[in-house]
Structure formats: structure tokens, C-alpha cells
């Protein structure tokens, strides 16, 4: 049995990777006018890129992980609609997520967007921080290629394993 490697990422490393993705996209010269992030993992990436580029952000909610420590892959589920504040969707889409593991979420998100917005989309490209070799799809932009397919411990993982009651105790507040 092959033991899975693990990668631990600090907040500063995480922000550095998002900035590197922004620079990579910029240096490519590709012109886009809409960012869509796949939530939850792509929220921080999408938020930062929309602030840097000053383009609207839309959110496609997707869920496939749960179980013990949120590390068990299950059925992929999508929201019914994009969440966005603009009246319409841009026609040159940058679709972002934090990583491609199996690649199924990214591949199916592209399929979902084409199924629901095909007439509005002229060009669609993808960007992630981490691209694992086990992925069924290669993103257009990525910062790190991970040949050994490690489990990535991102800095916000702490909040998936902590409760508000634990935080209250940590900061010396009484329970309600």
C-alpha cells in the first residue's frame, strides 16, 4: 500500500500562490471579463483575483467532500444557479478553484457552465493553485504541479475542525 504524502500550507504561502496565479494569468496576455469561482475551495482565489483585476465575481457552489475530516469524496452536487451581482455573465470566463485533485469538479463545472450559459460564453479558461498528476483535466493556469498527489492541508482547514464554542473557550468567553 502506498502511503499518501501530505502538504501543509501556511496563510502566507497560500496568499503567495494566489498572487503567482494572478501574475501568470496577467503575463499570458489573455483578456477575460468575468471570474467564476467554484465554492467553497475557490472562494478565496476568486475573491482575491476579482479585487486585483476589478472584474465581477460569480460563484458556482459545488460540494463533493464530507465525512471524516472532510476528506471523503462523495457525489458531486451543484447549485441551481450562479450567484452574481451583475445582470449578465461576461463572455470570456476565468473559472477558478483552489486545486484539481481528481479533476472531476473542474471538468463537471465546465460542463455545467456550458449547459446553462453556452450562448453567452465565447471563451472559458481555468486556473488553480495546485494541479495534481491524478487529475483527469489539465487547467489552463496553475502555480504548482504535484506529481505525488499529496493531500493538501490548507490554512482554513482549522475552521472545519473547530466549533464556535471552542473559539469562545479559547478567547475566554462564557457559553450562552
Check residues 63 and 21 and name the one with the higher pLDDT: 21
What is the distance between the terminal CA atoms of the chain, rounded to a whole angstrom?
Answer: 48
The pLDDT tens digits for 122-176 are 999 999 999 999 999 999 999 999 999 999 999 999 998 899 999 999 999 977 7
Please give the domain boundaries of the chain with CATH numbers for all domains.
6-170 (3.40.50.2020)
Is the overall model pTM greater than 0.85, yes or no?
yes
Q: Are 38 and 109 in contact (CB under 8 A)?
A: yes
Q: In the chain, which residue ranges form alpha helices assigned H by DSSP?
A: 11-28, 43-53, 104-117, 164-170
Check residues 39 and 66 and name the one with the higher pLDDT: 39
- What pLDDT sits at residue 54? 97
Amino acid at each position: 500500500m502506498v502511503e499518501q504524502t501530505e502538504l501543509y500550507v501556511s496563510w502566507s504561502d497560500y496568499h503567495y500562490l494566489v498572487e503567482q496565479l494572478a501574475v501568470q494569468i496577467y503575463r499570458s496576455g489573455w483578456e477575460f471579463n468575468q471570474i467564476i469561482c467554484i465554492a467553497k475551495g475557490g472562494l478565496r482565489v476568486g475573491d482575491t483575483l476579482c479585487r486585483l483585476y476589478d472584474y465581477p465575481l460569480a460563484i458556482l457552489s459545488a460540494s463533493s467532500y464530507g465525512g471524516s475530516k472532510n476528506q471523503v469524496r462523495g457525489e458531486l452536487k451543484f447549485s441551481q444557479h450562479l450567484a452574481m451581482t451583475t445582470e449578465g455573465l461576461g463572455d470570456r470566463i476565468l473559472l477558478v478553484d483552489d486545486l484539481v485533485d481528481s479533476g472531476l469538479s473542474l471538468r463537471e463545472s465546465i460542463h455545467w457552465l456550458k449547459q446553462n450559459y453556452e450562448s453567452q460564453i465565447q471563451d472559458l479558461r481555468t486556473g488553480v493553485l495546485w494541479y495534481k498528476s491524478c487529475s483527469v483535466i489539465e487547467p489552463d493556469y496553475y502555480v504548482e504541479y504535484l506529481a505525488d498527489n499529496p493531500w493538501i492541508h490548507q490554512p482554513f482547514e482549522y475552521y472545519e475542525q473547530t466549533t464556535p464554542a471552542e473559539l469562545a473557550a479559547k478567547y475566554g468567553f462564557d457559553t450562552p
